[in-house]
Amino acid sequence: MLIPGQIPNTEPMIRVGIVLPEDKLQSIQISFSDPQCFEIDTGDRLHPACKNNDQSTVNIEDGKIILSDVNITASSIKIIPSIPHDNPFITLKGVTAGRGFHWEKQITASFWGSLEFSIYEDNLMVVNELPLEQYISCVATSEMSPQCPPEFLKAQTIVARSWLLANIEQKHRHLGFDICNDDCCQRYQGIAHCTPASIQSAEATFGQVIMFDDQICDARYSKSCGGITENYEHVWDGDPVPYLVSIMDVNENGIPFCSPEIVPEDTLKSYIGDVDEKGQYYRWTYEVNQAELIHSLKEKRNLSAVKILDLNPTQTGTSGRIIDLLIEYEDEPGDNHVTEIHSEYEIRNIMSHAFLYSSAFTVEKTDDGNFLLHGKGWGHGVGMCQIGALGMAFSKCVAEKILCHYYPNTELRTLYRPLSLK
Ligand SMILES: [Zn+2]
Ligand SMILES: [Zn+2]
């Protein structure tokens, strides 16, 4: 596992939780790209993997892990590639994606590196251990098209690596892995999203991170700042972070890098995935109607409103993101109440069932009692603005310049190099 505060000087291995105890699985199907390339470690000795069969099932039975077909029973097992340079992979059927969200589903995913199967509170837990750079090539730019300028892909890759190695959040440390496979940490679906562009970008920036004051930076990023980025402490609890401070995201002529003048909205979809057809990320309007907001207050706050009277922002961050919003409403007996929504995340959650683009908006009441939100930006706005970074790359800026712009006073450093180059 990564050690908090420790800066690696060789490529570390990373542990990613693939099946979590909360998934409540008792069994999972596995298959091998080539069973000859794997061995099974039961703690006391190594066994050959299913020699004559490339499929098997891992079950829990009587508090032990059982690997069918090869008659292995142990308290935990680790399937290890015995010929790692051929990049063999193991496929799992029934991995949870979108954990806890309404789009949660089971997928089939293939993994490089080793897979460790153990039992945690009577449920199956699977951890994928692999070299960090292989992981990075599977996630850093997986949502982006190879048409993106290489300097943008490099900046994005360095940001993803820095965030990972800074290792600030450590949500799953008690379970013995660094990060999970889902949006809770970073979406990782094995090798499915590893593309020629993501491999090239990982190789071109191998071991590179941004640093501030001899610490690896907790490099946050979001889709679009809207023209000004936001301070860390306006979005998350905690002290200000010296390199996560608000900056004007503009070029020498004062034109925002993330504006349609530099990145036309109708072309955005061809660069960055997860963008809707309209691509209105820079300036947008969203109508919240009475029924939607009443339903949202009931569902998310258990408040029984019958009419929303007003929306009053009382505190905004530097980028204009609202961080404190008062909602005035009337209840069934006709009494007026005010509820406070604190944090940009909660505001976006309450204002739209689909999670509002950002909390940087002004409110206009319509004649029929609804609310028109005139907004800008997409996401929390702290650190790198991805669309702005794309705009900078279109404006011939190199990755290092892009990173210095969004993370002021940081420096780019190479922590380790490929073994073959040593
Ligand atoms: Zn997580
Ligand atoms: Zn921006």
Separation of CA 19 and ligand 1 centre (Å):
11
Ligand 1 mean position to 370 CA, how many Å? 37
Q: How far is ligand 2, taken at its centre, from the CA of residue 179, in Å?
A: 28
3-state SS, 327-396, equals EEEEECCCCEEEEEEECHHHHHHHHCCCCCCCCCEEEEECCCCCEEEEEECECCCECEEHHHHHHHHHCC
The answer for residues whose C-beta is within 8 angstroms of residue 278's C-beta and 6 or more apart is 265
Distance CA 111, CA 197 (A): 19
What is the distance between the alpha carbons of residues 310 and 324, in angstroms, rounded to a whole number?
A: 14
Distance 98 CA to ligand 1 centre (A): 11
Instruction: Return the bridge partners of 326, or none.
Output: 312, 340
Other CB atoms closer than 10 Å to residue 23's CB: what's the count? Answer: 18
Distance (Å) from CA 289 to ligand 2 centroid: 29
| Structural domain includes residue 275 | no
**Cα(217) to centroid of ligand 1, in Å?**
19
54: number of Cβ within 10 Å: 16
Domain boundary among 197, 213, 247: 197
Task: Report d(CA 158, CA 167) in Å as an integer.
Answer: 14
Question: What is the whole-number distance in angstroms between the Cα of residue 183 and the centre of ligand 1?
Answer: 7
> Which amino acid does the sequence have at 194?
C
Tell me how far apart the alpha carbons of residues 177 and 70 are, in angstroms, rounded to a whole number.
Answer: 27
The reply to whether 287 falls in a domain is yes
- Asked if the structure places residue 246 within a domain, the reply is no
Both 178 and 51 in a single domain?
Answer: yes
53 and 153, same structural domain? yes
The residue range of the domain holding 288 is 283-376
Cα 280 to ligand 2 centroid, rounded to whole Å: 13
Between the CA of 135 and the centroid of ligand 1 the distance, in Å, is: 15
Smallest-distance ligand from the CA of 225: 2
Rounded Cα distance, 187 and 129, in Å: 16
CA 388 / ligand 2 centre spacing (Å): 4
What lies within 8 Å, CB to CB, of 175 at 6+ separation is 17, 20, 21, 120, 125
Distance 281 CA to ligand 2 centre (A): 10
Using the CB atoms, write b or e for 87-111: b if 16+ within 10 Å: ebbbbbeebbbeeeeeeeeeeebbb
For the question of whether the overall pTM of this predicted structure is more than 0.75, the answer is yes
Ligand nearest to the CA of 183: 1
The 3-state DSSP composition of the chain as helix, strand, coil percent (nearest 5) reads: 25, 35, 45
Looking at residue 275, what is its pLDDT? Answer: 65
Q: Is residue 227 part of a domain?
A: no
Cα separation of 225 and 248, whole Å? 9
Distance 101 CA to ligand 1 centre (A): 14
Distance 256 CA to ligand 1 centre (A): 33
Joined tokens for residue 6:
């420790």
Q: Which ligand is nearest to the CA of 188?
A: 1
* Digitized pLDDT (tens) for each residue of the chain, 422 residues in all: 888 888 999 999 999 999 999 999 999 999 998 888 899 999 888 888 766 667 889 999 999 999 987 888 999 999 999 876 778 999 999 999 989 877 789 999 999 999 999 999 999 999 999 999 999 999 888 778 888 999 999 999 999 999 999 988 789 999 999 999 998 888 899 998 888 888 999 999 999 999 999 999 999 999 999 999 999 999 999 999 999 999 999 999 999 999 999 999 888 888 887 666 566 789 999 999 999 999 999 999 999 999 999 999 999 999 999 999 999 999 999 999 999 999 999 999 999 988 899 999 999 999 999 999 999 999 999 999 999 999 999 999 999 999 999 999 999 999 999 987 54
Which of 361, 376, 391 is where one domain is finished?
376
**Nearest bound ligand to the CA of residue 405:** 2
Whole-number Å distance, alpha carbon 159 to ligand 1 midpoint, is: 18
CA of 392 to the centre of ligand 2 (A): 10
Q: Are 115 and 78 in contact (CB under 8 A)?
A: yes
| Cα–Cα distance measured from residue 338 to residue 332, given in angstroms and rounded to the nearest whole number | 14
Q: Give the pLDDT confidence score for residue 55 in this predicted structure.
A: 85
Separation of alpha carbons 118 and 129, rounded Å: 14
Kindly state whether residues 290 and 156 are assigned to the same domain.
no
- CA-based angle 235:239:243, to the nearest 5? 80
* Closest ligand to residue 263's CA: 2
How open is the CA angle 402-407-413, to the nearest 5 degrees?
Answer: 80
Residue 247 falls within a domain, yes or no? Answer: no
Backbone phi and psi for residue 130, each to the nearest 5 degrees, phi listed first: -155, 160
Q: How far apart are the first and last CA of the chain?
A: 23
Count of CB atoms situated within 10 Å of the CB of 282: 25
Residue 220 lies in a domain: no
CA of 123 to the centre of ligand 1 (A): 18
Closest-lying ligand to the alpha carbon of 223? 2
Domain endpoint, select from 197, 230, 261: 197
Q: CA 107 to CA 329: how far, in whole Å?
A: 43
Length of the chain: 422
Compute the distance from residue 64 Cα to the ligand 2 centre, in Å. Answer: 52
Instruction: State the distance from the centre of ligand 1 to the C-alpha of 139, rounded, in angstroms.
Output: 14
Ligand with the closest atom to the CA of 99: 1
Kind plus residue range of the DSSP H or E element containing 283: strand 283-288
Ligand 1 center from residue 134 Cα (angstroms): 19
- Quick check: is 392 in a domain? no
| Residue-wise DSSP of 157-211 | HHHHHHHHHH----TTGGGT-SEESSTTT----GGGG--HHHHHHHHHTTTEEEE
- Sole residue written with tokens 């340079």: 85
Whether 318 maps to a domain, the answer reads yes
Q: How far is the CA of 53 from the centre of ligand 1 (A)?
A: 33
CB contact at 8 A, 129 and 113:
yes
Contacts of 21 (CB under 8 A, 6+ apart): 120, 121, 123, 124, 125, 175
Q: How far is the CA of 191 from the centre of ligand 2 (A)?
A: 30
Cα 172 to ligand 1 centroid, rounded to whole Å: 6
Helix (H) or strand (E) holding 120: strand 114-120
Query: 18 CA to middle of ligand 1, Å?
Result: 10
The Cα 25–Cα 21 span in angstroms is: 7
One-letter amino acid identity for 20?
L
Distance 283 CA to ligand 2 centre (A): 12
Contacts (Cβ under 8 Å, ≥6 apart) of 174: none
Q: 């890098």: which residue's tokens?
A: 257
Ligand 2 midpoint to CA 226 (Å): 5
Query: Given this model, what pLDDT does residue 274 score?
Result: 66
Domain count, the chain: 2
Q: Are residues 318 and 177 in the same domain?
A: no
189 shares a domain with 316: no
